[in-house]
Amino acid sequence: MHTKSLTELAQGLRSGEFSSVELTQHFLKRIKQYHDLNTYITVTEEIALQNAIAADARLASGQGAALTGIPMAQKDIFCTLDIKTSCGSKMLDNFIAPYNATVVEKFNQAGAVLLGKLNMDEFAMGSSNETSYYGAVKNPWNINTVPGGSSGGSGAAVASRLASCATGTDTGGSIRQPAAHCGITGLKPTYGRVSRYGMIAYASSLDQGGPMARSAEDAAILLQTMAGFDPKDSTSVDLSVPDYSAGLNNSLAGLKIGLPKEFFSTDLNSDMAATLKTAINEYRKLGAEIKEVSMPNLKLAIPAYYVIAPAECSANLSRFDGVRFGYRCENPVDLTDLYTRSRGEGFGKEVKRRILMGTYALSTGYYDAYYVKAQKIRRLISDDFKNALTEVDVIMGPVTPTPAFGIGEKIADPIEMYLSDIYTIAINLAGLPALSIPAGFINDLPVGLQIIGNYFTEDRLLNIAHQYQQVTDWHQHTPKGFE
């Protein structure tokens, strides 16, 4: 059952081939069998079975929706009522959320079954899923390599079929990188398309939730549930939600694809470049036109991002002080000691590093020199994309510089780790939608192709990804031992 797509699972549930309870028990058994991957922080077995019983009753009455009875999992950054929501941090190890995030509520209303909460880099800060308080997640394609971050638990769980699908969040590539390293499809929607209410904030102007699934077809079904205006979220955009599945089979004849010369420079691994060019050539066969474009400010994306994101994280994480909720140190001698030790003991090394960088950038005398200048660069990067997308319909390129690297290989060198984001963070700075789809293998490790579109063109991106997946089978591969 775990090998079926969401559409196939929905058909099986409706035809009576299996029940939601049977399907849920099947996934729960696999989660226990492959727990060494460390994909889950919390497994909600009792709640999952209750959800499944309710879903079966709903299906029997003929009232089920597309996801009714489907077992899925949530990244542990989304608040879930009466369930631990840790954000991968010791700071929130004891936090039981008093409400549901909008995304969680939408899946509940659709009748989806919650298997549990997935492991992640602490407060979504990382590119490898090694900064989690609960330990590193292992990549099912090679357990000695990282799954990518911060949604590494989501990527590894979907790839190893420990969930039919999952949610992720993307601040600088945190859906697309795990999707690329784990050989699945991951979509970062346009900023504002999916509600951020109840999604614990890292960098508020960059964070965006999105779907992670085996295929573009499955991702379209998930996004249909996730997307939409939310009055509880001031950054949510009040636009109608299209039918994301309706145009999946549209022809790609005449599609104009832009290849940024900055993406395909000598800095890109030669094997990666060759694999991606083979994938892009499939689009030429499907009737697309390929054109080189230039975005000269892309080289400034990493320095701009690593000023803006830490600055926003410094402000957002100031609420975790040991007073209202979360971790509190033992026997503080005074208020200063309470703040200092609670934050010092509750946050991990990478989170503290980014808080300090952000606080420095926002401090008196440095705000204009760093934060304001970074925001100006952000506009230049956004303009580069705007100009390029007047010449072409979409932009394609790598997701990551290399396939998945070894666990522990980069964790001691923050700069080297930050460079893992070189092809993804510019899209977050511009607020554009982008997705990663499986496009081949290098040394038995998956490679992702990134497709970037204009604002609110997720339906077109899914169509472009789906058409590629109709003529290739990379998205159907399963890691050895997890079939």
**How far are the Cα atoms of 358, 367, 407 from residue 352, in angstroms, in the given order?**
10, 19, 21
Determine the residue type at 150: S
Residues in the chain: 483
Which residues 6+ apart lie within 8 Å of 79 measured at CB?
Answer: 85, 97, 99, 100, 101, 104, 198, 199, 200
Q: Residues of 160-183 as b/e, b for ≥16 C-beta within 10 angstroms? A: bbbbbbbbbbbbbbbbbbbbbbbb
CA of residue 63 relative to chain centroid, distance: 30
Q: What are phi and psi of 214, to 5 degrees?
A: -70, -35
Contacts of 251 (CB under 8 A, 6+ apart): 287
List active site positions. 75, 150, 174
- Residue 336's alpha-carbon distances to 339, 342, 359, in angstroms, are 5, 10, 18
Residue 184 identity: I
Query: Rounded to whole angstroms, how far apart are CA atoms 158 and 421?
Result: 22
User: Letter for the amino acid at 396?
Assistant: M
CB 432 within 8 A of CB 455: yes
The CA distance from 108 to 90, in Å, is 27
Structure-token pair, residue 290: 């390929």
